[in-house]
């Protein structure tokens, strides 16, 4: 992707700043340019917040490289603890748009199968049900709610909501019910004319540190023209 030297926030108050991460950009610092690099260049104070990891500063939620959308950064240690508490109490509602490939049996649904690490592939997660074999780690419970929005050719545009957000949760949950995300190289074997998998974090709802209800949205940038 093109390198971006400046990234603008989509929301900011005294405690929090939210950015719209481009698809294809890593969230955390690593061997290549990341959202953290771009954010800390413009907001160096965010790097000093004591968060999950020292090189992530106040970043509160991570997105997969291919997944674009809203990422939250706390502006202080106190703010980080507050918003971390909201997430742990499942009080931040996250909305995604996803394009999936499969025949829908209804216009809405919920997937609540526990998730664990794949026993052989360290990059993958898996759902744990009565047919599951071995897995790594402890299965964790999560819920993925989805609603059908419209057909895009032979594909489905879904609105997906979660309140927890385990690693690959939406991707592995939708694939487990026959709705793999278009372009997902881990959970969908088909090849599509898209650069990134078609999942975008486009909405956040929560109560901020000052008691005000916040609803933050962005337009997704999924590659509809390719499908």
User: What is the band of 17 on the pLDDT scale with cuts at 50, 70, 90?
Assistant: very high
Burial readout 41-80 (b: 16 or more C-beta within 10 A, e: otherwise): eebeebbebebeeeebbbbbbbbbbbbbbbbbbbbbeebb
Which residue bears the tokens 């898209």?
194
Task: Report CA Rg, the chain.
Answer: 18
88: CB partners within 8 A, 6+ apart: none
Query: Mind listing the pLDDT tens digit for each residue in 113-127?
Result: 999 888 878 789 988
Catalytic residue (choose from 20, 37, 64, 220): 64
> For 91-227, which CATH superfamily applies?
Pseudouridine synthase (3.30.2350.10)
Q: What is the pLDDT of residues 141-199, one digit of tens each?
A: 889 999 999 999 999 999 999 998 889 999 999 999 999 999 999 999 999 999 999 99
Q: Is 64 assigned a catalytic role?
A: yes
Domain boundaries, the chain: 1-89, 91-227
Candidates 3.40.50.620, 3.30.2350.10, 3.40.640.10, 2.40.340.10; CATH matching 1-89: 3.30.2350.10
Taking the CA atoms of 173, 177, 183 and 186 in sequence, report the sign of the dihedral they define.
positive
pLDDT band at 94 (very low <50, low <70, confident <90, very high): very high
pTM above 0.85, yes or no: yes
């Amino acid at each position: 992707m093109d390198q971006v030297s400046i990234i603008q926030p989509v929301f900011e108050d005294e405690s929090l700043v939210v950015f719209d991460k481009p698809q294809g950009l890593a969230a955390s610092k690593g061997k290549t340019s990341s959202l953290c690099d771009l954010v800390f260049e413009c907001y160096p104070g965010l790097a000093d917040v004591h968060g999950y990891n020292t090189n992530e500063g106040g970043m509160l939620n991570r997105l997969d490289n291919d997944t674009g959308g809203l990422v939250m950064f706390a502006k202080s240690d106190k703010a980080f603890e507050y918003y971390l508490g909201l997430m742990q109490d499942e009080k931040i509602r996250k909305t995604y748009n996803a394009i999936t490939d499969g025949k829908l049996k209804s216009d809405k649904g919920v997937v609540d199968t526990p998730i664990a690490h794949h026993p052989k592939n360290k990059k993958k997660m898996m759902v744990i049900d009565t047919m599951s074999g071995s897995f790594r780690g402890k299965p964790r419970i999560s819920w993925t709610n989805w609603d059908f929005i419209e057909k895009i050719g032979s594909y489905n545009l879904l609105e997906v909501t979660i309140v927890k957000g385990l690693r690959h949760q939406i991707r592995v949950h939708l694939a487990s019910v026959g709705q793999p995300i278009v372009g997902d190289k881990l959970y969908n074997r088909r090849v599509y004319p898209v650069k990134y998998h078609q999942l975008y974090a486009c909405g956040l709802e929560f109560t901020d540190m000052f008691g005000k209800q916040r609803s933050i949205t962005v337009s997704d940038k999924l590659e509809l023209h390719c499908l």
